[in-house]
Amino acid sequence: MLKLSEIYIYPVKSLGGIRLDFANITTRGLENDRRFMLVDENGRFLSQREHPQLAIFQTEIEGKFLKITHKKTKQNLTINLSPPSQPSLLSVTIWDDNTTAVESSSEASTWFTQILEIPVRLVYMSEESHRKTDTQYSLTGEEITSFSDGYPILIIGQSSLDDLNNRLENPVNINRFRPNFVFTHGEPFEEDNWHEFTVGNIRFFGVKPCARCIMTTIDQETGEKKDREPLLTLNKYRKAGNKILFGQNVLISQLGTVSVGEDVTVISRKKLAKFEID
């Protein structure tokens, strides 16, 4: 029997994540997941791809507040998880999507600007903002997500990570891949062909394998990139077309709560991607 073994959220896109025992499912994804994001002067999102040092900002939730700590300098910032509504909306860009957000606070933006030594703003996706997922992989055409790369939830099997680590000289942690759900038991990469599945009593749909990028080569504890792994190894057996796939992007079918230890049940499957073996 497949079991949900780990749950993660990332309150600020590209900053450190938080491991949970349970999570509430909202229309955008897991509650408090990627509702905040750093943007540059042009409103474009920042990520570890260009700013690997973002990895060393650790996050934790304390009641109704989010505490952010810069692990190198030990400086910390506490902000409201739900910033008050502001009259002026900002236009922000994440990949090819334009959406609206509000500035969390000028104090928070100044704090990040001083530490990163580049002008940035910390923005929040308010309830008024509805960023739709890719209609090509939609169920209804109305699904929305937060500031995730494109989908509300990412799921990865522990067996998939074990298979990869058995091929690596230096094993990597699951946090390199920043999943929301991790499950145990089952075969390596069996999540590739999941279509409909449940966690406990909550139903989800796997819609698209997740293409991986240089961000997986960044050590999430130090913010350093030492080599090309694990992408170099994944390229040898997880390449489909010009993309390296690891994990499954997931859409939400119903709201509720999921908890670590609950059964994961696959209801239906879809056609597997064709991988090129080096």
123: CATH: 2.40.33.20
> Is residue 277 in a domain?
no
Residue 187 within a domain: yes
What does each of the 278 residues of the chain score in pLDDT, given as a tens digit? 999 999 999 999 999 999 999 999 999 999 999 999 999 999 999 999 999 999 999 999 999 999 999 999 999 999 999 887 776 789 999 999 999 999 999 999 999 999 999 999 999 998 888 999 999 999 999 999 999 999 999 999 999 999 999 999 999 999 999 999 999 999 999 999 999 999 999 999 999 999 999 999 999 999 999 899 999 999 999 999 999 999 999 999 999 999 999 999 999 998 887 888 76
| Parent domain of 59 | 2-269
pLDDT at 226: 84
Kindly give, in sequence order, each residue whose CB lies less than 8 Å from that of residue 184, ignoring residues fewer than 6 positions away.
2, 3, 5, 157, 158, 159
Domain total in the chain: 1
How far is residue 256 from each of residues 26, 31, 178, 202, measured CA to CA in Å? 8, 11, 22, 7
Q: What is the reported pLDDT for 274?
A: 80
Looking at residue 6, its pLDDT comes to: 98
Question: For residue range 174-225, what is the model confidence (pLDDT) as tens digits?
Answer: 999 999 999 999 999 999 999 999 999 999 999 999 999 999 999 999 999 9
CA angle 131, 133, 135 (to 5 degrees): 125
The pLDDT of residue 84: 74
Query: Given this model, what pLDDT does residue 276 score?
Result: 81
Give yes or no for a contact between 261 and 4, defined as CB atoms under 8 angstroms apart. Answer: yes
